[in-house]
Amino acid sequence: MTVKRIATAAAVALAMAAVPTAPALAWHHHRGGPFFLPFAIAGAVVGTAAAIATAPLAAVAPPPAPYPAYGYGPPPYGYYGPPPGYYYGPPPR
C-alpha cells in the first residue's frame, strides 16, 4: 500500500513538473499562404523606411508634455447638462 502511494505521488509530482516545460509550438500551424511572404517583406521595408525618415524629426522634437496635456481632459462642469432622467410614464391616478 505504501509503495503504491509513493509511486502515485511521484507520478503526479513528475507530471506537474513537466507541464510548464512543454513548449507551445504554434508556428507549425500558420503557413501564411503563397502571398504572405511578399506582404511581410513589403511591410518590413515600409516600416524601416518610416523609422529612418522620421528619425531626424524625433531627434529635434521637444520632450512630450506631462500627462494630462493642457487642453485635454474632461469638459468643465456645466458644459453639458445633466443626463436626462429615466422616463417611467405619468404617475397613476
Question: How do the pLDDT tens digits run along the chain, 93 residues long?
Answer: 798 888 898 888 888 777 765 566 656 555 677 778 888 899 999 999 999 999 999 889 998 767 665 666 666 666 666 666 777 777 777
- In whole angstroms, give the CA distance from residue 41 to residue 35: 11
Write out the three cell numbers for 60: 529635434
Distances (CA, A) of 92 to 5, 33, 89: 73, 67, 9
Residue 30 C-alpha from the chain's centroid: 20
Nearby residues of 40 by Cβ (< 8 Å), 6 or more positions away: 32
Joined together, the cell numbers standing for residue 14 give: 513528475
